[in-house]
Structure 1
Amino acid sequence: MEAVAVAAALGFLLLTAAGGSAGDEAREAAAVRELLARLLGPGPAAAFSVSVERALAAESGLDTYRLSGGGVGARVRVLGSTGVAAAAGLHRYLRDFCGCHVAWSGSQLRLPQPLPAVPEELTEATPNRYRYYQNVCTQSYSFVWWDWARWEQEIDWMALNGINLALAWSGQEAIWQRVYLALGLTQTEIDEYFTGPAFLAWGRMGNLHTWSGPLPPSWHLKQLYLQHRILDRMRSFGMIPVLPAFAGHVPKALTRVFPQINITQMGSWGHFNCSYSCSFLLAPEDPLFPIVGSLFLRELTKEFGTDHIYGADTFNEMKPPSSEPSYLAAATATVYQAMIAVDPDAVWLLQGWLFQHQPEFWGPAQVGAVLGAVPRGRLLVLDLFAESQPVYVRTASFQGQPFIWCMLHNFGGNHGLFGALESVNRGPTAARLFPNSTMVGTGMAPEGIGQNEVVYALMAELGWRKDPVADLGAWVAGFAARRYGVSHGTAEAAWRLLLRSVYNCSGEGCSGHNRSPLVRRPSLQMATAVWYNRSDVLEAWRLLLAATPTLATSPAFCYDLVDVTRQAVQELVSLYYEEARTAYLNTELVPLMRAGGVLAYELLPALDKVLASDSHFLLGSWLERARVAAVSETEARFYEQNSRYQLTLWGPEGNILDYANKQLAGLVADYYAPRWRLFMETLVESLVRGIPFQQHQFDKNAFQLEQTFVLSTRRYPSQPQGDTVDLAKKLFLKYYPRWVAGAL
């Protein structure tokens, strides 16, 4: 009976989602042809024939592509069951037949001439209905300042990687503003409620309100414009955009208009006090709940249309008011009822992070109450952190509700080489073969993008594979060859070392959050242990530098050289910190001054120069994107401060200090390095004067430095400066011999 119920749930979801596909075959084929012209240019694009036919997937109902043709005088024919499938087929041809590479940091698109022939007609169907993309947090950590040109690039990347289900949450605050005004709130009350742009993700999940706001009127207008273009482009490929729905959180000001409403003030979140946290949650039985939920969804779908899948998170990282299953079921059912009151075909996309984040609260009865409150097939759960802590295993495949196996990988958009590639490689197949599995897709759900591109290349490929990659070593060597446009044994050897070290995280505590001392407020208790052999990273660094005579003209290679140099310096910072700490604890002044001086006055300034040589590692570019989103200098300063806060203090008092840490030129020089100089100088003073180091006093002094950076209006270069290879070599020649000699 269980297998029958599972099949019924999955069948309903497949039918609902398939019926929601927007655009016809001709429109989707045209969208892929336009993508092809943007990617390759009109001339090379003319060598391809692209078409879309739903009938290609008639038997399985799963996205399918077919490749054929090519060779002398023949066009390459790409046929897909949807625009997304055709784009994925195109990407497969470029990757596997032409040795090309498409990535966030740039693309390597040197096409062989003539275009290689497809020896035998190649037909590939995805094993799952969905390839999902995004985390609610990605909207703030990575997308917040994007214009349409950047969104267009991302949607092209999504299509090429076969993504057919993605959040589309821009512009929702403009809709909420209409709803709140209709409910009787004043504009001032609404302005006081919304967070600033860089913190909207947590306002949307009920974690925050007010902090770093208000939103300017121009923000709403621009976001509405963007959302229309985003949705139009996603739908043109046959993607399913996920729109937001009402999760139950409301402004406190609603109690002025409706004094009798039944609301619960939630607990604080993220070390914020109730001035910015402690959201107000409408009781599920309150008659206003369905009114607010329906008003919002009706206004939203009137503005943007719908594809019938909606996201809402009522208890994200928040303890519910009651653990009683009856309460949790009622709270869940009310959210769903508000959806179907407007859209009878609604499917709720739920981030399963809450079950993983607070497992002590979410026992079997509590999880079952939520999962059972929505008809099977109408709740689509994201197993958000499945590569590390899968929830489907301990919930019997989410008790029959469909789920998507997701790789979270990155927290806060941190830099830092990291991956659990073996776990990622094996995880989807294991989930698919799980008893009575209700898995319907794979997903990438990073909090921030633009890092560790090898991890995302593998995950995207797995969305179209029925089995794991047999040999990850060979796969990563092929990845490097495509990325640089040539097979190079030394560079491939470097990547194999990275695969067995930084990209081989496994076991408990395997997390993508960078906790390196480099990006943390210093103390004497900092952890420096890593799960890999640091020698592998230093050796990979050496090998990449050895490959520079051949590969230095490759932009992707130079990007990787910066990234691996950055990682090597991160390792060196940990080692010099350990030396300095040991010297201090042993009251050895000269070794303390030597190690502390190298770390704060040599290593970090040198790292800043290397980062400044690549456009992807510039604080100036990060802040300039924020400024360009504004319509006045006042707005530009406001947006820039939002961005600076998110990178560093996160809240007014360092509430989530350094969570969203990045290693960017300018940030290293003017934020991390001053803290480290202060720390080492304080330790030296402590030994000289014979007084204990006072962490509390140091934290107060460090906070002054951090706040000075956040409030500064200093402008930073938005164009790279210096020669990457030369700067990386100088660093290497200075520190690698010390490492080999054991002098660190």
Structure 2
Amino acid sequence: MLHNFAGNIEMYGILDAIASGPIEALTSENSTMVGVGMSMEGIEQNPIVYDLMSEMAFQHKKVDVKAWIELYIARRYGRSSPLIRDAWNILYHTVYNCTDEAYEKNRDVIVAFPDVNPSLISSPLEMYPHYGKPTSRRAILREKKNAYEQPHLWYSTSEVIKALELFIASGKELSASNTYGYDLVDLTRQSLAKYANELFLKIIDAYKFKDVDKVTSLSQKFLDLVEDMDTLLACHDGFLLGPWLESAKQLAQNEEEEKQFEWNARTQITMWFDNTEEEASLLRDYGNKYWSGLLRDYYGPRAAVYFKILIESVENGEDFRLHKWRREWIKLTNNWQSSRKLFQVKSSGNAVSISRSLYNKYLRSES
């Protein structure tokens, strides 16, 4: 099983295939199968996927995923409840039921901001004519081709928001569980990330209609959302930038190595260093992460540069200054890579209350 590229953080999986594929391979005619393995580029995301796949080495028949998830909940949180079981049943049939066979690489707008002229980005109705409903990404790509790499959407966003409602409602019973906290933050992040993708397209739509007031207000809403998501991610140790940088520095034998190792760590998660002043690396955002610190200190400021130039182009009645955008965001990236700023290494904030607050602020009307 490959499953993940570069440790990107995205709720994604095909549990039915995991629960049946190894058994089908083992029992197929002339099978030479001797075991199962995993070869993901990054881990520390989607624990349910790796938990189930690890178990398949010891299974002799296909697994009933629904029944397995009910046991998984009790193991993971120390207890279960009707609300959390209903939530996981939704997740099983949505985010963990990706059957469109599309290449999975997280290209959410926040963490993989489009490096293209806005005129090349389709409007919301063109890009997501069935937004909120499960849609084949391949079908979308056949309908519309442009330079904007569309984020992968294979499930009903409204259904996943319902799962989030149930997760939040389970907080009174499960908030003492660290793993519940991780899953709650991750699910809230997932829901807000898809909301941000849609919000970005509304900004582009307003730009095409030359509505400077709407571009300005929606852009600010997007930037506020990035800040709010950073606060959310700070609620759990599993979503912090600080430990990544500190672990790199701890490998150093001297100050010069420490600077180099930190630069390496910062570069790996932003843009690999083969850019020019006006041409970004082809491997920009390959190792993108939803980590507290990274959103507030890098992804947010980068988006702000784009929106600033977008607003200027509408106000001045001129084309989007693509080369200016590229010069500014590439410089911002290179400066961030060389920075020595420190970030928190311990979580802070109440995941349940912050998730509830952000659900009410951004998602309540979407469900």
Identify the match of residue 319 of structure 2 among 681, 689, 692: 692
Separation in structure 2 between the aligned mates of residue 542 and residue 489 of structure 1, nearest angstrom:
13
> What secondary structure sits across from 1:517 in the alignment?
coil
Cα 1:436–1:695 change in 2 (3 A) is: farther
- Equivalence map 1:407-556=2 (5 Å): 407-470=1-64, 472-511=65-104, 513-522=105-114, 523=116, 524=118, 525=121, 526=148, 527-528=150-151, 530-556=153-179
> What secondary structure sits across from 2:214 in the alignment?
helix
Q: Deviations over 1:43-66 (max 9, x none)?
A: xxxxxxxxxxxxxxxxxxxxxxxx
Asked whether the equivalents of residues 107 and 152 of structure 2 are also in contact (C-alpha less than 8 Å), the reply is: no
Cα 1:685–1:550 change in 2 (3 A) is: same
Deviation at 1:587, TM superposition (A): 1.7
Q: Paired residues, what number?
A: 331
Asked whether the equivalents of residues 100 and 154 of structure 2 are also in contact (C-alpha less than 8 Å), the reply is: no
Separation in structure 2 between the aligned mates of residue 697 and residue 421 of structure 1, nearest angstrom:
45
Separation in structure 1 between the aligned mates of residue 310 and residue 186 of structure 2, nearest angstrom:
31
**Structure 2 residue aligned with 1:580:** 203
| 4+ residue segments displaced more than 4 Å | none
User: Does structure 1 residue 667 correspond to structure 2 residue 310?
Assistant: no
Asked whether the equivalents of residues 619 and 718 of structure 1 are also in contact (C-alpha less than 8 Å), the reply is: yes
**Structure 1 residue aligned with 2:310:** 683
Separation in structure 2 between the aligned mates of residue 477 and residue 596 of structure 1, nearest angstrom:
42
Amino acid at match of 1:737: R
Amino acid at match of 2:243: S
Asked whether the equivalents of residues 272 and 284 of structure 2 are also in contact (C-alpha less than 8 Å), the reply is: yes
Deviation at 1:510, TM superposition (A): 4.2
User: Does structure 1 residue 603 correspond to structure 2 residue 225?
Assistant: yes
Separation in structure 1 between the aligned mates of residue 271 and residue 217 of structure 2, nearest angstrom:
30
Separation in structure 2 between the aligned mates of residue 565 and residue 647 of structure 1, nearest angstrom:
22
Asked whether the equivalents of residues 408 and 444 of structure 1 are also in contact (C-alpha less than 8 Å), the reply is: yes
Q: Deviations over 1:42-92 (max 9, x none)?
A: xxxxxxxxxxxxxxxxxxxxxxxxxxxxxxxxxxxxxxxxxxxxxxxxxxx
Deviation at 1:435, TM superposition (A): 3.2
Amino acid at match of 2:316: R
- Equivalence map 1:110-125=2 (5 Å): none
User: Does structure 1 residue 631 correspond to structure 2 residue 223?
Assistant: no
> What secondary structure sits across from 2:58 in the alignment?
coil
Separation in structure 2 between the aligned mates of residue 554 and residue 424 of structure 1, nearest angstrom:
27
Q: Deviations over 1:447-492 (max 9, x none)?
A: 011110000011011111122112x122222211211111111111
Separation in structure 2 between the aligned mates of residue 533 and residue 502 of structure 1, nearest angstrom:
9
**Structure 1 residue aligned with 2:278:** none
Asked whether the equivalents of residues 494 and 539 of structure 1 are also in contact (C-alpha less than 8 Å), the reply is: yes
Separation in structure 2 between the aligned mates of residue 412 and residue 506 of structure 1, nearest angstrom:
21
- Equivalence map 1:79-90=2 (5 Å): none
Asked whether the equivalents of residues 686 and 693 of structure 1 are also in contact (C-alpha less than 8 Å), the reply is: yes
Asked whether the equivalents of residues 174 and 180 of structure 2 are also in contact (C-alpha less than 8 Å), the reply is: yes
Cα 1:494–1:592 change in 2 (3 A) is: same
Asked whether the equivalents of residues 521 and 702 of structure 1 are also in contact (C-alpha less than 8 Å), the reply is: no
User: Does structure 1 residue 590 correspond to structure 2 residue 182?
Assistant: no
Asked whether the equivalents of residues 498 and 537 of structure 1 are also in contact (C-alpha less than 8 Å), the reply is: yes
Deviation at 1:672, TM superposition (A): 0.7
> What secondary structure sits across from 1:605 in the alignment?
helix
- Equivalence map 1:9-24=2 (5 Å): none
Separation in structure 1 between the aligned mates of residue 100 and residue 363 of structure 2, nearest angstrom:
30
Deviation at 1:529, TM superposition (A): 5.1
Q: Determine what percentage of the aligned residue pairs are the same residue.
A: 35
Deviation at 1:538, TM superposition (A): 1.2
Amino acid at match of 1:501: T
Separation in structure 2 between the aligned mates of residue 648 and residue 562 of structure 1, nearest angstrom:
22
User: Does structure 1 residue 645 correspond to structure 2 residue 238?
Assistant: no
Asked whether the equivalents of residues 411 and 448 of structure 1 are also in contact (C-alpha less than 8 Å), the reply is: yes
Deviation at 1:430, TM superposition (A): 2.3
Deviation at 1:428, TM superposition (A): 1.2
Amino acid at match of 2:70: A
Higher strand proportion (structure 1 or 2): 1
> What secondary structure sits across from 2:45 in the alignment?
coil
> What secondary structure sits across from 2:286 in the alignment?
coil
Separation in structure 2 between the aligned mates of residue 700 and residue 494 of structure 1, nearest angstrom:
45
Q: Deviations over 1:613-653 (max 9, x none)?
A: 21111111110111111122222111111101101112332
Higher helix proportion (structure 1 or 2): 2
Asked whether the equivalents of residues 423 and 506 of structure 1 are also in contact (C-alpha less than 8 Å), the reply is: no
Output the aligned Cα RMSD.
Answer: 1.5
Deviation at 1:433, TM superposition (A): 3.2
**Structure 2 residue aligned with 1:731:** 358
Separation in structure 1 between the aligned mates of residue 350 and residue 38 of structure 2, nearest angstrom:
34
**TM-score in terms of structure 1 length:** 0.43
Could you say which structure has the larger radius of gyration?
Answer: 1
Cα 1:596–1:672 change in 2 (3 A) is: same
Q: Which structure 2 segments of 5+ residues have no match? A: 122-147, 276-280
Asked which structure has the greater RCO (Cα within 8 Å, sep 6+), the reply is: 2
Q: Which structure 1 segments of 5+ residues have no match? A: 1-406
**TM-score in terms of structure 2 length:** 0.86
Q: Deviations over 1:155-196 (max 9, x none)?
A: xxxxxxxxxxxxxxxxxxxxxxxxxxxxxxxxxxxxxxxxxx
Asked whether the equivalents of residues 108 and 151 of structure 2 are also in contact (C-alpha less than 8 Å), the reply is: yes
User: Does structure 1 residue 705 correspond to structure 2 residue 299?
Assistant: no
Separation in structure 2 between the aligned mates of residue 738 and residue 594 of structure 1, nearest angstrom:
19
